[in-house]
């Protein structure tokens, strides 16, 4: 089990770096899909099979494919005006990545996750997710579909030329 965990973690880390490094947006999105599938593998190892299924179907299956189609339709091969800001953006990216790596190392070193006594096993079941959604988050669960419907209607109204 530990070997699988380290394998999935290595694939997630490598793919996440490749998402940032790749210049071609299509290959970057494909690496992002690999990150999503590897995260689903980590969820399975944690015993959260329902969350893993949601990860694959919602993120890797729907959202990433949508991103891929949008990038391919827009033909985003060479963005304009990126070359002059490249050095500053790269420096800021390295600083942020270094800070996140340092904070992650502090978290692992302090061992605060294991010493907190939290049990992550029952969190990934369908029953636990459903209970949390329909008790603690009932109001946001009701508001989100209304907001999505308003966004779809707004997009239809904005793109419709015959009104």
Q: Kindly state the tokens that stand for 83.
A: 């070359």
The domain limits of the chain are: 1-78, 79-120, 125-163
* Assigned CATH for 1-78: 1.20.120.1200
pLDDT tens-digit series, residues 144-162: 888 888 888 877 777 776 6
At residue 10, does pLDDT exceed 90? yes
Query: Do residues 15 and 35 make contact, with C-beta atoms less than 8 angstroms apart?
Result: yes
Q: Which residue has the tokens 């033909």?
A: 75
User: How does pLDDT run across 94-141, given as a tens digit for each residue?
Assistant: 888 788 888 877 766 766 555 555 555 566 677 887 888 888 888 888
The pTM for the full model equals 0.58
7, 77, 14, 78: which is closest to 41 by C-alpha? 7
Half-sphere exposure of residue 99, counting CA atoms within 13 Å on the CB side? 6
- Residues 11-47 pLDDT 10s: 999 999 998 888 888 888 889 889 999 999 998 888 8
Report, in this order, helix, strand and coil percent for the chain, each rounded to 5. 80, 0, 20
């Amino acid at each position: 089990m530990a070997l699988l965990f380290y394998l999935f973690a290595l694939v997630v880390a490598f793919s996440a770096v490749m998402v940032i490094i790749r210049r071609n947006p299509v290959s970057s999105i494909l690496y992002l899909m690999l990150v999503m599938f590897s995260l689903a593998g980590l969820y399975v190892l944690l015993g959260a099979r329902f969350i893993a299924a949601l990860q694959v179907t919602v993120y890797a299956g729907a959202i990433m494919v949508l991103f891929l189609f949008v990038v391919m339709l827009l033909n985003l091969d060479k963005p304009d005006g990126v070359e002059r800001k490249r050095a500053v953006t790269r420096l800021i990216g390295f600083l942020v990545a270094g800070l996140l790596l340092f904070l992650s190392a502090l978290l692992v070193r302090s061992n605060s996750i294991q010493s907190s006594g939290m049990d992550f096993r029952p969190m990934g079941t369908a029953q636990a997710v459903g209970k949390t959604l329909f008790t603690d988050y009932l109001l946001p669960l009701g508001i989100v579909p209304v907001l999505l419907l308003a966004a779809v209607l707004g997009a239809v109204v904005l793109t419709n030329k015959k009104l």
